[in-house]
Structure 1
């Protein structure tokens, strides 16, 4: 099978979702052509590579990348595990087209689905891993909870969710360290995205144990921060949780 036929874009949206709004990855639709340049300058690739290492994806495993955007985390997974079965989910059709072009250039198989984080393109207990990078802060309260529930639903027993996003424990004084608050953290992002993220209640809810609590309340066990990066964006947290084994 040629590389061109290994990459596909599917539309999972319902008729009612056709006009549903979402925040583009770069904050504004017109900034999408510059998005990958922004992320390269921001050093996001290193965050993706670290996330892949922490996830511990094994050969042949099924992975869903939620909020995949232009596919950078999905492609990092496939660079490390070419035989992984990766599906990327994002509401932005134009971003998915860019992800598809990059996958075809690399000759790697990738399924891309246009849809939303409150409804994953997977059957119950069919995934080994759910991953998400710098997407959770785009979601409101209801969608954050739905993301966690869908992660639980679609993961197999002992399957793992790995989330990379702004946030994590504050300093001992209860405030972000100097130079690492939300506004400073985003100074390398385009202004529309920086303003959206800095003022986002979801980013505030990522602070302290916000993401850990989200996963714990959804039923994940051993939910915890497994690493963090004092990145040029500011503090980025890596959080994981495991779906419990079913009782025999």
Structure 2
């Protein structure tokens, strides 16, 4: 029998991190079982595939996926470059367990680290790529600044960061949403609730507002990256999604 592909979850939190709050990818912990179904319905996979194409990851390169959640961007990287060495980073242990189960089913190697965006699991100048999708808007001001600086530290000269996140104003239709009805946690009700959460987050969250205009570009430039720029954008059902890249000088 062939040996199973290695998948592991590491905990890099400090004692001070144990009670550190974070916003789950689904917004609410009880929504996690429905998160992957929601992302499929919402067309998030296309965003991941586009991000991987823009990143230009080459065979054997080292990649850290910041805010990996249940691992979907990591899997998109591995689908495009099976020999890439991918590490997913997220504070949500339950989401990481789901990512690990999915990796084992797919028989792909994946290292998962429980930790925060401001401490990327890599030595100085060790990474070829840092990627992140729809995670930066979960992070507060101090965490965003620390993430950008730590990404610069962890990337080798010429290494690249590629960020996909909401950026720019949502349309009126996207902000409108639907009335809230809470009658238990059925799958359909959960998906509707996730849709409302995402619309509200894009339209009203002050952290998302920091992405508007050149917010992410400015964040990376201020951290010391060269040629930070928006390389693409798309009008998603929940709002404008921007693809931003920068290179470590």
**TM score, norm. by length of structure 1:** 0.90
Aligned counterparts of 1:150 and 1:201: Cα–Cα separation in 2: 23
- Conserved 8 A contact 2:31-2:194: no
Distance 2:176 2:162 in 1: 25
Matched, 1:3 2:4: yes
**How far apart, in 1, do the equivalents of 2:199 and 2:124 lie?**
36
- 1:180 Cα offset (Å): 6.6
Q: Which runs of 5+ in 2 are unaligned?
A: 178-191
- Secondary structure, aligned partner of 2:19: coil
Q: Paired residue for 1:239?
A: 244
Partner of 2:235: 230
1:72-104 CA distance string (max 9 Å, x none): 000000011000000000000000000000010
SS state of the match for residue 54, structure 1?
A: helix
Task: Provide the residue aligned with 2:100 in structure 1.
Answer: 100
Mind listing any 5+ residue stretches in structure 1 that lack a counterpart?
169-175
SS at 2:65's partner residue? strand
Q: How many residues align?
A: 234
Partner Cα separation in structure 2 for residue 204 and residue 229 of structure 1? 17
| SS, match of residue 88 in structure 2 | strand
Q: Deviations over 1:150-180 (max 9, x none)?
A: 1100000000000000004xxxxxxx47447
How big is the shift at 1:15?
A: 1.0
8 Å contact kept, 1:183–1:198: no
SS at match of 2:194: coil
RMSD: 1.7
> In the aligned structure 1, how far is the partner of 2:173 from the partner of 2:141?
24
Secondary structure at the counterpart of residue 210 of structure 2: helix
Say whether the 8 Å CA contact 2:166–2:202 is kept in structure 1.
Answer: no
Residues 166-245 of structure 1: matches in 2 within 5 Å? 166-168=166-168, 176=169, 178-179=171-172, 189-244=194-249
1:189 positional shift: 3.5
User: TM-score, structure 2 length as denominator?
Assistant: 0.89
| Aligned twin of 1:173 | none
Give the ranges of 4+ consecutive aligned residues of structure 1 lying more than 6 Å apart after TM superposition: none
Report the alpha carbon displacement of residue 234 of structure 1 after superposing the two structures with TM. 1.9
Tell me, in whole angstroms, the C-alpha distance in 1 between the residues paired with 2:83 and 2:14. Answer: 31
SS in 2 for 1:3: coil
